[in-house]
Amino acid sequence: MSPPHVLVEARPFSAFDPAPLEALRRAGLEVSDFRGAGLADPRFAEALGRAEILLCGNDLRVDEAVLARAGRLRAVAKLGAGLDTVDIAAATRRRLPVFHTPGANNQAVADHTFALILALARRILRCDRGLREKRWEHTRILGVEIWNKTLGLIGLGAIGRCVALRAKGFQMRILAHDPYWPEAFAAEHGIERVAIGELLERADIVSLHVPLTPESRHLIDAAALSRMKPSAFLINCSRGGIVNEADLAAALREGRIAGAGIDVFEEEPPLSSPLLEIDNVVLTPHTAAFTYEGMNQMSTGIVEQILAFVAGERPRHTVNPEVFAPA
């Protein structure tokens, strides 16, 4: 019997440490390394037709059309926590387990969230740019303190809770909205539960930590932005489609909010995003999860689950466990 064939599409997989990729090969699996490739590459399309396990990232949309081309597929291994690029219902209809790596990058994303907050509050990019351009703007650049400000978290899941813990160090007041309310955690840390509208109106900083779903798409639009304080910042390290970028750009240009820190975009790379032309926004290229520790945990975590699946076990973070029930 030939060894199981793993098609690796996820660009960040084993990008900073070859050990996870080598672990798949040492386990005797056939590995096709097409990191960064896609369906436009005929070699990738051929490998997809032979693959039994697809290790994918955020670039490939694993939908019905892709699954139809993967006739031998037995499982979908999604690197990272987000599942918006995988059609779970389509995979389930084909009785394909889908598993991912939630929690591996919680700390990295929380750190990045605060990096964006502080960069906005203290106008770090303007300070850096001015010095490089030989300008000494010692008394011209005025920042704001985040100490004792009000942070509004839309989403109090694993990452939202990590952000909340960091905010406590700045003695911030914390508001949050989440339909799956973590009662014990919120009570322990004095987090106030509010509706989204009230959160937008009261928060000095609004930070998004929700998955992209049909319900959350363009959750932050012109109407939502109009409820925020003119002095408020918006932070998005979750998914790009949650924010209507055209509406955000208009709000920033017109001074209806003070600034934004954006790591994710409606289209990536964001070659035509209106946010690229605006000064009071700090932009990063979907790198919130990209720490050595976070990437290593994601890669090793997905390898552990692939090897468990090959051994006949149910992967730890399977999102559609019903596929393991008898047909």
List 46, 268, 293, 313, catalytic entry: 268
Query: 175-213, pLDDT tens digit by residue?
Result: 999 999 999 999 999 999 999 999 999 999 999 999 999
pTM, to two decimals: 0.90
Residue 48: both structure tokens together: 């997809």
Same domain, yes or no: 69 and 157? no
Residue 12: both structure tokens together: 């960040």
Give the pLDDT band (50/70/90) at residue 2. Answer: confident
List 239, 245, 266, 317, catalytic entry: 239
What is the reported pLDDT for 220?
98
Known active-site residue 100: no
Pair 281, 257: CB distance under 8 Å: no
Same domain, yes or no: 166 and 231? yes
Range 295-315 average pLDDT: 97
Query: 240-249, pLDDT tens digit by residue?
Result: 999 999 999 9
Same domain, yes or no: 257 and 136? yes
The count of domains in the chain is 2
Give the pLDDT band (50/70/90) at residue 326. Answer: confident
Has residue 1 got a pLDDT over 70? no
Same domain, yes or no: 72 and 146? no
Pair 191, 136: CB distance under 8 Å: no
Residue 178: both structure tokens together: 């989440």
Q: What CATH number did the domain enclosing 118 receive? A: 3.40.50.720
Q: For the chain, what is the mean pLDDT? A: 96
Range 158-166 average pLDDT: 98
Per-residue burial over 259-287, b = 16 or more CB atoms within 10 Å of its CB, e = otherwise:
bbbbbbbbeeebeebbbeebebbbbbebe
Known active-site residue 268: yes
List 112, 177, 286, 317, catalytic entry: 286
Has residue 327 got a pLDDT over 80? no
Q: Which residues sit opposite 235 in a β-bridge? A: 207, 261
Same domain, yes or no: 117 and 238? yes
Host domain of residue 186: 106-283
Known active-site residue 316: no
Query: 89-138, pLDDT tens digit by residue?
Result: 999 999 999 999 999 999 999 999 999 999 999 999 999 999 999 999 99
